[in-house]
Structure 1
Amino acid sequence: MAFETASLCSWLHKRAEDVSVALMATMFFAFLAQIILRYLTDFPIGWTSELTIVCWLWLVLWGAVFVVRDEEEIRFDLIYGSLGRRTRRVVVMLTSLSLIVLYTISLPAVVDYVTFMKVQRSDYLGIRFDFLFSIYVLFAVATIIRQIFIGWNAIRRSGIDAFDPTKAGSGI
């Protein structure tokens, strides 16, 4: 059962990466179309710029929710690395608790704002803003869940390894 779960999680992670790649490719080709149409044919169009911005918004938040692992998150390594194991554990618990509280407090207002934005559409593509901004609700909920697990692991004294700057990487 554990192997099946790990295999499923790995497969889902790969599909999330595929979505990120598709968003990046869409951004790239929309950007190229914008350059070609504006500078080579002297026919500027707005939908390419709007599509690029929408893809960027979704790419950043989608990646933060589904693609980036905890060990790939950006940290203040100079500060974090200089702390002892016990102090790192306390810092992780306080940071997790702070983020859980802040995101939980803001979540009702975020959901209210996103649902309110169904009355507006994007200028060129006509996409409802509630759909465009819905990724942020998913981001906020996923951040709360992720921080619960990170904080719980810190309380259980697991997941707080000794800092090794030679193991830092881009996740590749």
Structure 2
Amino acid sequence: MKILRVILKTILDVLEIHLPSILLFTFTISLFLQVLLRYVFKFPSPELYEITSYCFVWTVLLGAACAHRYRDHLRFNIIYEKLPRKVQLVIDITFDSFITILFIISLKPILKQTFWYHLIRSEVLGIPWTYLVISLPVFMILVIYHNISYVYYGIRELITGVPAKTEGKPWE
């Protein structure tokens, strides 16, 4: 069981921390080269534009999944923080359950549509659009996984009163 946890944590780290970091680096370099080629050498590069677009979409969605993993999304919690801990838990469990149900319901048609996109290819590089839009189902699966664990730990804390140990943020 411990080996499965280590494997799962490694997969999550690769998908939510390392891959977005590599993609952000690639995005930054390709954007820099794109500007350099266009404005200094007067030679625009459509290849770099497509690479930048693909990297941007993947970085945003995987970064959002990472932010969700650490509960570091933007929140309007002025009233929420003033509520008792048990009420906060009920709110968290309710919203996490609701989002999870919505994502599970919408996952099948989104996957169906995603795999249809193999017929369309990008203009310059000829990459199937499936590789671009598969980032949305990956994001949804990651959020579903995190929400299920948050609901479990929230219910456990609601019953026992013992808060779950949270994973430290890699950037702190």
CA RMSD, Structure 1 to Structure 2 (Å): 2.7
User: Structure 2, unaligned stretches of length 5 or more?
Assistant: 164-168
SS at match of 1:55: helix
Q: For 1:160 and 1:52, how far apart are their aligned partners in 2?
A: 45
> Once the 2 structures are TM-superposed, how far is the Cα of residue 71 of structure 1 from its aligned partner?
3.3
Q: Secondary structure at the match of 2:64?
A: helix
Residue 44 of structure 2 is aligned to residue 44 of structure 1 = yes
Q: Name 1:165's counterpart in structure 2.
A: none
Q: What does 1:77-96 correspond to in 2, within 5 Å? A: 77-96=77-96
Task: Evaluate the alpha carbon distance shift between residue 21 and residue 142 of structure 1 in structure 2; reply closer, same or farther with a 3 A threshold.
Answer: closer
Quote the Cα distance in structure 1 between the aligned partners of 2:105 and 2:9: 32
Q: How big is the shift at 1:148?
A: 1.3
Alignment-derived partner of residue 166 in structure 1: none
Once the two structures are superposed, residues 32-64 of structure 1 have per-residue CA deviations (whole angstroms, 9 ceiling, x without a partner) of 111111111111122222211110111122233
TM-score by length of 1: 0.80
Name the SS for the 1:78 alignment partner. coil
Residue 142 of structure 2 is aligned to residue 104 of structure 1: no
Structure 2 letter corresponding to 1:39: Y
Shift of 1:156: 1.6
What is the SS of the residue equivalent to 1:77? Answer: coil
Deviation of the 1:114 alpha carbon: 0.1
1:94-152 Cα distance to aligned partner (Å, 9 max, x none): 10111012111111110111011111011122110112111211111221121111112
The 5-angstrom pairing of residues 16-35 of structure 1 reads: 16=15, 17-35=17-35
User: Residues of 2 paired with 1:116 and 1:21: CA distance?
Assistant: 29
Return 45-54 or 74-83, whichever deviates more.
74-83
Query: How far apart in 2 are the matches of 1:68 and 1:6?
Result: 19
Query: Distance in 1 between the 2:29 and 2:55 partners?
Result: 11
Identity of matched residues, % = 25
Superposed, which structure 2 residues align to 1:63-82 within 5 Å? 63-65=63-65, 69-82=69-82
Corresponding residue number in structure 1 for 2:115: 115
Equivalences, count? 164
How many Å separate the matches in 1 of 2:75 and 2:146? 16
Counterpart CA distance in 1 for 2:69 and 2:120 is: 34
CA distance in 2, matches of 1:6, 1:111: 27
8 Å contact kept, 1:111–1:137: yes
Secondary structure of 2:26's aligned partner: helix
Unmatched segments (≥5 aa) in structure 1? 162-168
